[in-house]
Amino acid sequence: MTPLVVAENLSKHFPARRMFGRGRPVQAVSGVSLTVGRGEAVGLVGESGSGKSTIGRLMLGLLEPSAGRVVIDGTDLGATDADSLRRLRRRMQLVFQDPYSSLDPRRTVGAQIADGLAIHRIVPSGERRARVEALLARVGMTPAHADRYPHEFSGGQRQRVGIARALATGPEFLVADEPVSALDVSVQAQVLALLADLRRRLGLAMLFISHDLPVVRSICDRTVVLYLGRIMEEGPAGEVFERPRHPYTKALLSASPTLDPARRRRRILLPGDPPSPADPPSGCVFRTRCPWVAPVCAGAAPPLRELAAGHFVACVRADALGPVPDAPNGSVSQQ
Amino acid sequence: MQRLRPGPVVAVGTIAFLALLVPLFGLDNPLHMDIAHRLAQPTLAHPLGQDAYGRDVLARLLWGARVSLAVASSSSALACLVGTALGLAGGFLRGPVEFLALRGMDVVLCFPPLLLALLVVTLLGPGAPTLIPLLAVLYLPGFVRVVYAGVLSVRTQDYVEAMRSLGAGRLRIMLGTILPNVGGPVLVQFSIAAASAVVLESGLSFLGLGVVPPAPSWGLMIGEARATMMQAPLLLLWPCLALSVTILALNALCDALRDAVDPHGITRRRRHGGLLDRLAPGLLPAPGAALELAGLTIAIDTPSGPIHPVRDVSLRVMPHETLALVGESGSGKSLTGLATMGLLPPIARVAGGAAWIEGRDVLRLDEAALRRLRGATVAMIFQDPLSSLNPVQRIATQIGEAVQAHARSPAKATWRRAVELLRHVGIPDPERRAHNFPHEMSGGMRQRAMIAMAIANQPRLLIADEPTTALDVTIQAQVLELLAALRRESGMALIFITHSLPVVAEIADRVAVMYAGEIVEQGRVAEVFARPLHPYTAALLASVPREDGSLAEAIPGTVPPPYALPPGCAFAPRCRFARADCSSGTLALTEVMAERLTRCRRWSDLA
């Protein structure tokens, strides 16, 4: 069976505006190919500037790619006219990171959940109220909440409303852009449990964008690790988490704080900041911070290679990475 | 929608009512002259007297209101309608529409309003039909600009993107989503335009360019009264009074409208019950403690009585020690940190307790003494370095100011010290970086610069309020490492305020867990995390994302807001272990084992 969503060789460049003339374009996404199967949850992991949100919007057709294409269930988003694209939106939805800015402060949450129903004329206006209440119930809220305004809710409740709004049109594909990172831990767990449950019951395909590896692992089937707009590693979630093969994934995992002292790995401290996406390094974009860097890395950009079944890594040295070398790039700069 | 305040509505309603129904009052014909009684004093038949032509002043005032208000309201309504449409289309559709709308308004703005009025009136002749479109054009740019600016800030909001993602058309987004969100400023603009249109109409009529005599208008009346000001000063008073009252009422109405359409005014607040007096400061501070808090309680006065977002917080931090203050949003952890620095926002005040920094009671120090303390003995860093740094000053200058604040030194030496500090916090190439402005640095670099400022005077206590929350994981690791290294070498005490338990596990020696304004558990990190003695700590630990791929356990419900705290234990409604007696009485933070404090009656059930 073909995957529900196929992104082929996506690139997105944003023109940089300067006071005089044009600067170098920002290469937010470069040559990313990605699939999401029906009912599958794919995690998109990366730090700020890795292009993960841009990819999410490209895959929903909210941004137009500079190169490459997105095909949803056989329909090329770039080749359809505006009207069919709007009809197609019914089948794919977005859940936002910020539960505060993603709801219209001037309208009741019930009215906002009903928007999707009205736009696509899914139910006659007389039955909308009942459908809104059913949607609220589905995300664990009560019918009376429909008449309240967003500011009367806590962050977690607002995120539930955002999810109900996305579910109103009965989508098959959901892009969740950091849906829990603005929430407190205890609430975060509530929303994650809700998303996992909805996915199971409705068979939703999901692109789950996050910077938090444990969160991605708990909810996704597959994980894609991004750095500077390029895929570094891709594979089954547990596999990437337990046996990371790319130096960046290894560093990312070792840097994320953990409760469990037994699991506390030797921390790989990456020196400095990620390079500017307007001026990425030649060859492997991670080489300027990579502890295992070798002269060969400055050459051609490493292609994604399949090292194990379904486990792809874009590193020429992935087969031969020993223990963390003693910082050829200098570890923490103040030592 | 919120209820409209009745006062302004009644005022404007009365004025409009008088103006509309004036033909029914049976007043004199405002044009009827009676030269015999020119400038007559008020009588029963003419309550406000008669003017220079013997016309009834009251009748002219009320008929004049009709003209003045009609011109003002229709011209500002016209400007509002057209301006909002242009601003909305220009801001949302961009491209040529934007160019036409904005540049068109620039052209209108190029003409001085009075000159434009003179020109138009000279060409088209005076009278109300000329005045209305003229005033509308004059007020148009204001509306376009206000709406355009509003649209630009609203159009990038996620909820607009959400509408696009739902497949909504452009018209629906413009009218249904964007327009209501820029409505507030438009109403304010409308009140300004309507009020100034009344004034401008009067002014133009006064100059003979507006309403044509003998038709009554307030401006004409003022003009005519001026000629006989010495004989009958009251004639000047009435139209001026009418003008002022009308403008005030219009402004009040628009303010009330703006408040009424803003849903933020609506909050369903319950009054909380009487709070216990918790003003029992501890005894004397422990010797040698870098910071000691005893029963710190913070109050915020609200219209329905004071609320207490921080209650009875007691803790102690020794030199060389890192204490993590951990809690969810609204737990009061940041307020506690700010109170310690004497930096509470103006609405909050300390309602009880004491805070000693190296034995000095900071809550009772005056502002000058506090300033000497801040930076020198105790320093603070915040979550968002970009908003905490001055955007128009070079980084070394700002660090230099921190140095200068406590010890004067020549400018050259200060700069050198700043560069040295930048190197100390691990900023590469500090000589060059010293010249950078904050926006030229990355988030991690800015946080390092903030830390450099904070340690400039070797404080003995550093309060770090979520210093790594806004940073990426790999950068967070760098900053945590830096803070740990600084503490090791200087021996300062560190209070680390955070919501992340894994970060606590990485950096802190001891932890104080806060819930709904209270410390519920305190102890050494390893012991607390291995064997929590408060159900909230246990639940919080269970809700941290797991590393084995299973879903974390959520805590049902939400944190109670400080104005609706449950009686007894604040966590009881969400607690798995709660019994009936948990929801009554008061609970104290009790040392139940060596160096283990908990605020729970059932701690032994957890153990």
- CB contact (8 A) between residue B426 and residue A215: no
Q: What is the largest CA-CA distance in chain A?
A: 69
- CB contact (8 A) between residue A157 and residue B501: no
B336 and B188 within one domain: no
Among B528, B552, B576, which residue terminates a domain? B552
pLDDT at B283 > cutoff 70: no
Residue B285 has what pLDDT?
A: 62
CATH code where residue B362 lies:
3.40.50.300
- CB contact (8 A) between residue B506 and residue A257: yes
Name which of A83-87, A230-234, B218-222, B285-289 the model is least confident about.
Answer: B285-289
Chain A interface includes B20 (CB < 8 A): no
CATH code where residue B182 lies:
1.10.3720.10
Using CB atoms, which residue from A186, A212, A270 is nearest to B474? A270
Residue A332 has what pLDDT?
A: 38
Chain A residue numbers touching B555 (CB-CB < 8 A): 186-187, 189-190
Residue B286 has what pLDDT?
A: 67
Q: Supply the range of the domain harboring residue B132.
A: 6-25+42-265
Chain A interface includes B506 (CB < 8 A): yes
Chain A residue numbers touching B268 (CB-CB < 8 A): 152
Chain A residue numbers touching B334 (CB-CB < 8 A): none
Encoded amino acid at B182, one letter = V
What is the CATH T-level fold of the domain A5-238, as seen in this structure? Rossmann fold (3.40.50)
B247 and B167 within one domain: yes
Q: Please give chain A's pLDDT, 335 residues, in tens.
A: 689 999 999 999 988 766 565 677 888 999 999 999 999 999 999 988 889 999 999 999 999 999 999 999 989 998 888 888 888 999 999 999 888 889 998 899 999 999 999 999 888 989 999 999 999 998 989 898 999 999 888 888 999 999 999 999 999 999 999 998 888 888 888 899 999 999 999 999 999 999 888 899 999 999 999 999 999 999 999 999 989 999 999 999 888 888 877 666 677 888 888 888 888 899 999 999 999 999 999 988 999 999 999 999 999 988 878 777 765 444 433 33
Residue B263 has what pLDDT?
A: 67
Q: Which residue of B has its CA nearest to A196?
A: B551
Q: Looking at the domain assignment, is residue B448 inside a domain?
A: no
B173 and B134 within one domain: yes
Q: Looking at the domain assignment, is residue B397 inside a domain?
A: no
Q: Looking at the domain assignment, is residue B47 inside a domain?
A: yes
Chain A interface includes B505 (CB < 8 A): yes
B260 and B300 within one domain: no
Give the relative orientation of helices B95-110 and B57-93 as an angle to the nearest 10 degrees: 140
Q: A77, A58 in Cβ contact below 8 A? A: no
pLDDT at B266 > cutoff 80: no
* CA dihedral angle for residue B515, residue B519, residue B525, residue B529, rounded to 10 degrees: -40
B130 and B245 within one domain: yes
Q: What is the mean pLDDT of chain B?
A: 85
Q: Which residue of B has its CA nearest to A149?
A: B263
- Which phi and psi (to 5°) does residue B74 adopt? -70, -35
The average pLDDT across B401-411 equals 82
pLDDT, tens only, B317-343: 999 999 999 998 888 998 999 888 888
The average pLDDT across B274-281 equals 34
Chain B residue numbers touching A169 (CB-CB < 8 A): 166-167
Q: B395, B439 in Cβ contact below 8 A? A: no
Using CB atoms, which residue from A89, A101, A269 is nearest to B159? A101
B311 and B214 within one domain: no
Using CB atoms, which residue from B180, B539, B544 is nearest to A259? B544
Model ipTM? 0.85
B245 and B339 within one domain: no
In this structure, how many other beta carbons lie within 10 angstroms of the beta carbon of residue B425?
Answer: 25
- Please state, for a pLDDT cut of 70, what percent of chain B lies above it: 95
Among B552, B572, B599, which residue terminates a domain? B552
Collapse the DSSP code of A64 into the 3-class scheme (helix H, G, I; strand E, B; otherwise coil) and give the result.
coil
- Which phi and psi (to 5°) does residue B216 adopt? -80, 145
What value does the CA radius of gyration of chain A take, rounded to a whole number of Å?
21
B537 and B464 within one domain: yes
Candidates B158, B334, B550: best to mutate against A (most CBs of A within 10 A) is B158
| Nearest CA among B568, B563, B591, B588 for reference residue B578 | B568
Q: Looking at the domain assignment, is residue B492 inside a domain?
A: yes
Number of A–B residue contacts, CB under 8 Å: 205
Q: Element (H or E) spanning B109, and its range?
A: helix B95-110
- CB contact (8 A) between residue B158 and residue A241: no
Give every strand in the sheet of B493-498, ordered side by side: B378-381, B461-465, B493-498, B322-326, B510-515, B518-524, B596-598, B590-593
Among B249, B265, B281, which residue terminates a domain? B265
Residue B284 has what pLDDT?
A: 58
pLDDT, tens only, B70-98: 888 899 999 999 999 999 999 998 888 88
The domain tally of chain B equals: 2
Tokens of A86: 């709007």
- CB contact (8 A) between residue B166 and residue A189: no
Task: Dihedral sign for Cα B587, B589, B593, B596, please.
Answer: positive
Per-residue confidence band for B58, with pLDDT thresholds at 50, 70 and 90: confident
Of B16-25, B198-207, B248-257, B526-535, the range with the highest mean pLDDT is: B526-535
The β-bridge relationship of strands A67-72 and B590-593 is unpaired
- CB contact (8 A) between residue B552 and residue A192: yes
Chain B residue numbers touching A185 (CB-CB < 8 A): 328, 499-501, 540, 543-544
C-alpha angle B215/B216/B222, rounded to 5°?
130
B198 and B61 within one domain: yes
Chain A interface includes B470 (CB < 8 A): no
Candidates B155, B165, B466: best to mutate against A (most CBs of A within 10 A) is B165
